[in-house]
Amino acid sequence: MHSNDATEQRNERNKWSVKASEQSQSIKNPIREIMDNFQAKPNLEKRTISLALGDPSSYDYLKPPPGVVAHVCEIWAKQESNGYAASSGLHEARVALSVRYGPSRARKSLDHQRSAEAIADFERTKNSLRAHGQARAREEREFFCSTSSSRRRSDEEDEEDRGDEEESGSQAGMIGASNERAAATTTTTTTTRAKASGGEKVAKNSRVVVYPNTRGKLSARDCFLTHGCSQALSHAIKVLAEEGSVLLLPKPGFALYQTLCELHKVECVFYDLDAENRWEIDLLHVKKLVMENKNRIKAILVNNPSNPCGALFSERHLIDICECCEELKLPIIADEVYEDISFGDRCNYLPLASVSKTVPILAVGSLSKRWLVPGWRLGWLLVHDRNDILKNGGIHGALEKLSQVTLGPPTPLQAALPFILQNDDSVWLNETLQTLREARDVCIHKCQSCPGLSIDSLPEGAMYALVKIDCKLFCEAGIADDFAFTSALFSEESVLLLPGQCFGALGYTRVVLTCPVEILVEAWERIEQFCKRKIDIAMKKKNLSGDVLINSEFGRKTPTPAPASDEEIDDVFSLEETIRREEAIY
């Protein structure tokens, strides 16, 4: 008996016992959780068009600035940067960051070509499309809503349009009133003009916004090189928020924020972005959340320009954010990976640190978006700490320790960073922004022709448009939400979009602007056909069912599930590659 027990114990010792840790298994990515259930296959009769992946290089359409790739190749060829760099980054790279993002020179927006004639033409076309679709839109609303509510919504839209025009007209006056932090807006017909205050280059028929750089001194020690913007975000969260504390995140927002918080065992609390007000931060909601969570909130994360909303915050709103954070004593993690990517007419990109005199800011960025090379995985974290609040809290030392875990991004790319940051790529950037602007305009034009789709706020930055889906209109056609919409669209038209649920935007879908215009137009034509087809189906069912269906169906809290497809689905389209790349591009 004793011999048998000893044999069993020996056998147990000889067995392998390996399993994933609880922490690794607890990590969740909202995009993957949603898209793992995305079981649809493309229509094989139509080529697949993906407007889902936020990778500016995916279509081999947008290229990095001239000279950048050649310089990187030269660095690799010299083989002088093959060794380890300091854990926080090469000194010369950190110095280059401190020069570009410090106070040594006033930064300015680039010379976007914004002629009044082009803007007026766009508005005329927009109004024409709106008038053309007004009768059809009214007919749809009458089928699914009461006459009174339809009239009220129409009045609100008209009033909103008038309000936008009034605010646009008064923007210059509002900017001029923001004292020393105000942006100086200049319109000129001369090609170049020097000003006594330091010089200003102005393109013909363009509007250039020059703002005083009030950021405090930035030294090389305030700059940390990271593996892309994602690691910079991870370091910023880890250094400010301990386990069990709370971080305020935007909603809608990039899903990686939540994933990183959960990795570091930090609780996520979401503040609202206002869809009716250019997706600006609802600061009253922020204050309410801080009161509810008392001293548990360690920082607020602000993303500008915004993914997925395409929002671009004005200087006035940035000042309001800083004043709110000063009142609440909240440090800011500023995700500015889309820096300089602004193509609207209302305002230009401004870094948060340029309008803050008191609030400590950890700003993160990378080469991924602004320079269109997400695969290079070179990012940074900048400590803007005018009053030494972060320094006195030991933040610099803690960031040094976090950097020692992975020893920084590839050394040759770090060695190339000074050239990349100091290179004058203004002509290239203007062309790139104009390309994105044209793609944005295509989305606005085409969306207005799609029944059931709309855009709450005009995209002005980043690389995305967030499109609203009127799920009530599509419900009778078996489309209950944004997930069902994108799934059916892909199955029938081979156009791939990410549902808004991936970003906390229920009832929306995100459209990427970085594909060639001709492909974007084709995609929107398919989307238009899809929407009209589904609305026609819904209207026919509505006519057959009558008023009884109206009262019973829309009184339910749980929408009717989509009807089964007429065709048997033999295989499942996998989004593994798309999801994997979407997770990595930061």
Average pLDDT over residues 38-59: 89
Give me the pLDDT at residue 124, please. Answer: 53
Query: β-strand 280-281 against 267-274: which pairing, if any?
Result: antiparallel
Give me the pLDDT at residue 181, please. Answer: 35
**Stretch among 209-213, 470-474, 552-556, 575-579 having the lowest mean pLDDT:** 552-556
* 193 confidence band (pLDDT: 50, 70, 90): very low
- Strand order across the beta sheet in which 297-303 lies: 223-227, 378-384, 361-366, 332-335, 297-303, 246-251, 267-274, 280-281
Give me the pLDDT at residue 294, please. Answer: 82
Q: Which domains does the chain have, with CATH numbers?
A: 26-61+427-584 (3.90.1150.10), 81-106+216-422 (3.40.640.10)
Give me the pLDDT at residue 418, please. Answer: 98
The pair phi, psi for residue 467, each rounded to 5°, is: -105, 130
* 557 confidence band (pLDDT: 50, 70, 90): very low
Question: pLDDT tens for residues 257-287?
Answer: 999 999 999 999 999 999 999 999 999 999 9
- Of the chain, the percentage scoring pLDDT greater than 70 comes to 73
pLDDT, the chain, mean: 80
The three-state secondary structure class of 579 is: helix
Give me the pLDDT at residue 199, please. Answer: 33
**Angstrom distance (rounded) from CA 53 to CA 30:** 15
Neighbours of 69 (CB within 10 A): 13
Cβ–Cβ < 8 Å for 367, 379: yes
Give me the pLDDT at residue 167, please. Answer: 38
Give me the pLDDT at residue 517, please. Answer: 95
Q: Which residues of 420-432 are buried (b: 16+ CB within 10 A; e: fewer)?
A: bbeeebeebbbeb
Burial (Cβ within 10 Å: 0-12, 13-18, ≥19) of residue 21: exposed
Strand-pairing partners, residue 104, are none
Give me the pLDDT at residue 471, please. Answer: 94
> Which candidate, 207, 206, 218, 214, places its Cα nearest to that of 179?
214
Give me the pLDDT at residue 60, please. Answer: 82
* Choice between 295 and 499, residue whose per-residue pLDDT is larger: 499
* 110 confidence band (pLDDT: 50, 70, 90): very low
**Angstrom distance (rounded) from CA 40 to CA 55:** 22
Give me the pLDDT at residue 158, please. Answer: 43
Question: pLDDT tens for residues 313-368?
Answer: 999 999 999 999 999 999 999 999 999 999 988 888 999 999 998 999 999 999 99
Judge whether residue 178 has pLDDT over 60. no
Judge whether residue 153 has pLDDT over 50. no
Q: Which residues of 112-121 are buried (b: 16+ CB within 10 A; e: fewer)?
A: bebeeeeeee
* Choice between 112 and 492, residue whose per-residue pLDDT is larger: 492
Q: What does DSSP assign to residue 479? A: -
Give me the pLDDT at residue 123, please. Answer: 52
Categorise residue 282: left if φ over 0, alpha if ψ from -120 to 50, beta otherwise. beta
**Angstrom distance (rounded) from CA 334 to CA 363:** 5
Give me the pLDDT at residue 577, please. Answer: 56
The reported pTM is: 0.77
Give me the pLDDT at residue 454, please. Answer: 97
Question: pLDDT tens for residues 406-443?
Answer: 888 999 999 999 999 999 999 999 999 999 999 999 99
Burial (Cβ within 10 Å: 0-12, 13-18, ≥19) of residue 198: exposed
Distance of CA 452 to the CA centre of its chain: 24
Average pLDDT over residues 470-478: 92
Strand-pairing partners, residue 397, are none
Average pLDDT over residues 149-169: 41
- Tokens representing 39 are 């079981």
**Stretch among 23-37, 118-132, 245-259 having the lowest mean pLDDT:** 118-132
Most confident of 111-120, 205-214, 236-245: 236-245
Cβ–Cβ < 8 Å for 96, 417: yes
Give me the pLDDT at residue 7, please. Answer: 76
The pair phi, psi for residue 297, each rounded to 5°, is: -80, 125
Judge whether residue 154 has pLDDT over 90. no
Give me the pLDDT at residue 582, please. Answer: 54
Average pLDDT over residues 82-103: 95
The three-state secondary structure class of 467 is: strand
> Which candidate, 274, 270, 277, 342, places its Cα nearest to that of 304?
342
**Angstrom distance (rounded) from CA 170 to CA 178:** 13
Cβ–Cβ < 8 Å for 98, 416: no
Give me the pLDDT at residue 545, please. Answer: 58
* Choice between 431 and 156, residue whose per-residue pLDDT is larger: 431
Residues whose CB falls within 8 Å of the CB of residue 172, separated by 6 or more in sequence, listed in order: 185
Judge whether residue 190 has pLDDT over 90. no
Q: Helices 116-144 and 426-447 sit at what angle, rounded to 10 degrees?
A: 30
